[in-house]
Structure 1
């Protein structure tokens, strides 16, 4: 898009003593440093002169070279970018920002580097789009932080970042993955209507390799599977804390799915010494009995299926079943009626076992299947009720 104004070099020459500078509809083809620091206009702290920046506003601007954010001790300095496009990198590594920083409806098409950056005032990324993988590494958000309506097209990790104030994620979109497992939440985390593309949320197994784990979350913007599990745990607990039980259910379901993927990966890891068979069986049961407390229909189908299975096993281990078995016989409504009656009776976990006595049981085996069927049916009913209570 063609801009009305163009700046190709010497951006520092635009510095003035003014407390506010504004650029509108400008194309920057040179590197830019913000806030603008006026030499000779510093302030004294502990006997030393430190920089004092001036407020800057960029409206509808494009940056085709790197933007560097500098440390600034002026708490009244406000840096604002509105409807801006950053074609190259933005670098704020090790910067300490005492004033407010606002990015409103901006597009970050290059790398975003906020490593060891400290925001002592408002940090606002409302409706911004991050086009590349981003890691906020040891970034301190000591005041209000806003990521509402922001979109992350690739993985975003908050590795050892601090939310010291209120962090707001409202209607934030995560097209790939989110990792807040290593985040220090010292303040208040406020989340609302988060959007995930769960099919594209890919996490990788690192096992017991600590070096690989650290490299993933520090430098490569990759999310380990264990971090994915913990991220959904944190979101689940936060939704529960806010009283949002509907979204809590979704996070619980995704947490269990992520843990199931982790357990499957551990099964193939020769260095993983703990057994995974029990965990895999429990997760399998929870998945098919009520979809991790999310779907009562799973519970109904599961209960009916196990009842039919164990009733069939009970029948086929009786002499009466084999003596009456006739594949070429005509349709007998009495047999069908007896079978349906037995099935309905079997759905009652406390039904009597006297019906087996007259069926000529083989070595008492039918009683074993009847007992196991009671357990399975009772479990299915319990899981169905749990799914019905998901909204509490």
Structure 2
């Protein structure tokens, strides 16, 4: 069906003729606005279907005399009833669209295309704000600003939309659903979410900023953040769930000056960088099976305990010492000895690179690393012991070539070689004998000095091997 073309004055006259007692429908119109126009919907309910708006800016509002939000009766406040609604179905807007100073029961955008540079819903009291496309026809929106929504029972339903920028500020929502959308940027400021805030199955291409907000219960699941999301100066009163796969090359999940009043879960979250600064966790928090390139924990308080089981940090060398020690402390509280030893090894590696580490400590750290990876690798401990045993045994034989002693073995290619059993016997005596009563070793001071120095390293290697074997012990 071909749309009928009308101009701004005819459109205004059409709306003025509508009656408050009817569900007024405007359909199949091409509305071209030559001058900016303000439409007072008064107490009328209006639905737009298959309409195209273009040209100058259009403002929908309600006269102040009909939009008194609170009436003071004998010291008590009662909210004025929301009767009217605005609906847009299969409509397009290429002009600027402002909806302001309204008292609405509902505002609905369904299967719309809005390319307006300015699209604002502001300074209103609205029971329900709905942007719902369909699986085969997403709403297409250039940008949307929702500002100063005062009704504390507002439901915000945002599903199946393609939008570049979504900005919400100074709003009060009861329940919010942002599901199955393709979003460029989300920016939420100074907003309170009284009940649930759900962010499911979205793809978000730019970094999102949420600041000065109050959440009750928040669920973020299966949302792909290409660049990440940052929460700043916000609080969470009830359970908080953050379980989202994201871009492991560049995405960032940040919490700055945030309080969590109940249980928190980041389980199975994948991010390039996790950042927590000045964060308070009142209840249990779980980082189990989290995957990231690196993580920063600074000025973090766990009132109870944090679970870091199976946390995978791909580049632990980028983490700070304080971060690793914080994780170690929580692993110790949860008696996770295996992961504790893993992060202990990370801490030791960071200390090796730390300029403040003393030379004596540095020597011990290097020995611990090379002997058994700080008590975590028993195979490396055995290899360290055998390697040093063989090295010093060969040194002893070589030095014995140039000394007068009673030791029967030396490295001398001119004479016959000793048989393998005879050499093995003396090698094992070299490794496991203290040599206190060995007159052959003690027959020359240089041989005995090499022997004693070798015994120190061999004994150290055996000790480190035993420690590594106790990795799974209590």
CA distance in 2, matches of 1:170, 1:145: 11
1:378 equivalent in alignment to 2:469: no
Segments of structure 1 that go 5 or more residues without pairing to the other structure are 43-49, 204-222, 267-273
1:59 to 160, 176, 179: 179
- 2:227 touches 2:252 (CA, 8 Å); kept in 1? no
**Could you say which structure has the larger radius of gyration?**
2
Deviation at 1:151, TM superposition (A): 0.9
Distance in 2 (CA, whole Å) between partners of 1:241 and 1:136 is 23
Query: Cα distance, 1:389 vs. partner?
Result: 0.7
Of 90, 102, 127, the match for 1:18: 127
Alpha-carbon contact 1:80-1:102 (below 8 Å) kept: yes
The 5 Å alignment of 1:79-94 reads 79-94=197-212
Structure 2 unmatched ranges of 5 or more: 1-109, 154-169
Cross-structure match for 1:152: 271
Aligned residues: 337
Q: How far did residue 40 of structure 1 move?
A: 5.7
**Greater relative contact order structure (CA < 8 Å, 6+ sep):** 1
Rounded to whole Å, the distance in 2 between the matches of 1:294 and 1:245 is 11
Describe the SS at the equivalent of 1:113. Answer: strand
Instruction: Using structure 1 for the length normalisation, give the TM-score.
Output: 0.74
Structure richer in helix, relative to its length: 1
Q: In 1, distance between residues paired with 2:322 and 2:122? A: 49
Query: How far does the alpha carbon of each residue in 1:76-96 deviate from its partner, in whole angstroms, 9 at most, with x for none?
Result: x2221111122334222222x
CA offset at residue 172 of structure 1?
A: 1.2
3-state SS of 1:183 partner: strand
User: Separation in 1 of the partners of 2:124 and 2:426?
Assistant: 89
The Cα of 1:239 is off from its aligned counterpart by 2.5
Matched, 1:194 2:311: yes
1:368 and 2:460 aligned: no
2:142 to 5, 29, 51: 29
How do residues 45-194 of structure 1 correspond to structure 2 at under 5 angstroms? 52-72=172-192, 75=194, 77-95=195-213, 97-110=214-227, 112-129=229-246, 131-153=250-272, 155-174=273-292, 176-194=293-311
- Quote the RMSD (CA, aligned, Å): 3.3
- Which residue is equivalent to 1:214? none
Tell me how far 1:37 sits from its aligned partner: 5.8
CA offset at residue 337 of structure 1?
3.6
| Alignment correspondent of 2:360 | 278
